[in-house]
Amino acid sequence: MSDDLAALTATPPRSLFVYYRVPLANQAAARQAINVIQQRLHEEHPGLTTRLMQRADTPEGSPEATWMEVYEHPDGVSAACEARLRDLADALPHGLIGARHVETFCPMAGRS
């Protein structure tokens, strides 16, 4: 395969963005649970970087907050890592957090 064809057919590195809502009463337990998940993934997938973020514009007095987990790896997040994340998240206690929404992004081709 030529280098040009390989470049066109190569899968770009993927990053995962997972967002969901967390009731205020569950935030301490949810943070601890997500920290455990991210630590396990760090151990099982060397080079993985993770972040836990919260929405910056949550209205005051809101009963819940929106959180986002970010997963990145220099070679892209593997399907095995994504499956393991899903398994670990599925084991969270029911009602601890809201429904998880997973988005996958990759770098744009070319220069800006």
pTM: 0.86
Strand, helix or coil for residue 10: coil
Q: What confidence category does residue 2 fall into, taking pLDDT thresholds of 50, 70 and 90?
A: very low
DSSP state of 19: E
pLDDT over 70 (residue 1): no
CB 15 within 8 A of CB 78: no
CB 39 within 8 A of CB 50: no
